[in-house]
Amino acid sequence: MNLSGFDFQLKNMNKPDLHPFSDYFKYYISLVEDKELIPVLQEQGKRHVQLISSLSQEQLHSSYAPGKWSVGELMMHIIDTERIMCFRALSFARGHQGVLPGFDHESYVASLDLKDYTIEQLANEYAAQREATMVMFEGFSSEAMDKSGVFSSDLSLSVHGLGYLIAGHELHHLGVLKDKYGV
**pLDDT exceeds cutoff 50 at 96:** yes
pLDDT of residue 105: 94
**Residue % of the chain over a pLDDT of 90:** 75
Q: SS3 letters for 84-114? A: HHHHHHHHHHCCCCCEECCCCHHHHHHCCCC
Q: Which residue has the higher pLDDT, 175 or 20?
A: 175
Task: Provide φ and ψ at 10, rounded to 5°.
Answer: -70, 140
d(CA 69, CA 74): 6
**pLDDT exceeds cutoff 80 at 158:** yes
pTM of the full predicted structure? Answer: 0.88
Domains of the chain: 36-181 (1.20.120.450)
Q: Which stretch of 4-8, 60-64, 144-148, 175-179 has the lowest confidence by average pLDDT? A: 4-8
pLDDT of residue 63: 94
Residues 18-61 pLDDT 10s: 555 567 788 899 999 999 999 999 999 999 999 999 999 999 99
Residues 114-143 pLDDT 10s: 999 999 999 999 999 999 999 999 999 999
Please state, rounded to an integer, the average pLDDT across all residues of the chain: 89
- For the sheet with 99-100, list strands across it: 99-100, 148-151, 155-158
Residues 18-29 pLDDT 10s: 555 567 788 899
**pLDDT exceeds cutoff 90 at 3:** no
pLDDT of residue 10: 47
pLDDT of residue 1: 46
- Name beta bridge partners: 150: 99, 156
pLDDT of residue 156: 84
